[in-house]
Amino acid sequence: MKVAFLVAPEGVEQVELTDPWDAVTDAGSTPHLVSTESGTIQAFNHLDKADTFPVDADLDTARSQDYDALVLPGGVANPDALRMDKRAVAFVKGFFEDGRPVAAICHAPWSLIEADVLRGRTLTSWPSLQTDIRNAGGTWVDEEVKVCTGGPNTLITSRNPGDLPAFCETFVREFGAKA
């Protein structure tokens, strides 16, 4: 299984990238870093610069159809930049249109809101997104991990880095069920 990790050139919360990446690798699947620009991305530990990571494909060449599943890591700046990029929004929307699973953590649902894919869906996120999610037609819940199958695909969401163990375990299981 080939899993896309969509991130902006700067602002992804490092642990929300690396822990899910390791979970995908440990499950025997292939993670692939996709970004709005080629080269490398700059991760952060909250507001402090952390490591850089090489981009496997940029949105000028990557197509959502090339992947079996999508992971959207958070951080505040990362999804805010992605939702402003029409290519990123179209990439995300493609997974919903084709019925492929998506996992999003923390602030990452901002990209889902912009893609207009939350109507009738139940999800969780960083608490400050709850009004945005409701305004986009979704139902927000305060849960460690939420699996929503009430739509064209399976959507797995979590609130914050503290939820990463449950998030990774759940999305790996759900992605495997879709393989």
Q: Which of 32, 46, 106, 168 is catalytic?
A: 106
How far apart CA 155 and CA 122 sit, in angstroms, is: 9
Active site residue 106: yes
Please report where in the chains the tokens 């402003």 appear, as a residue.
Answer: 84
Active site residue 107: yes
**DSSP 8-state secondary structure symbol assigned to residue 108:** T
Do residues 124 and 159 lie in contact, with contact meaning Cβ atoms separated by under 8 Å?
Answer: yes
How far apart CA 143 and CA 136 sit, in angstroms, is: 19
- Judge residue 112's burial from the number of C-beta atoms within 10 Å of its C-beta, 0-12 exposed, 13-18 middle, 19 or more buried: buried
Q: Which of 32, 46, 107, 168 is catalytic?
A: 107
Torsion, Cα 96 17 88 135, to 10 degrees, reads 60
Cβ neighbours of 155 (radius 10 Å):
27
How far apart CA 113 and CA 18 sit, in angstroms, is: 24
Task: Give the active site residues.
Answer: 106-107
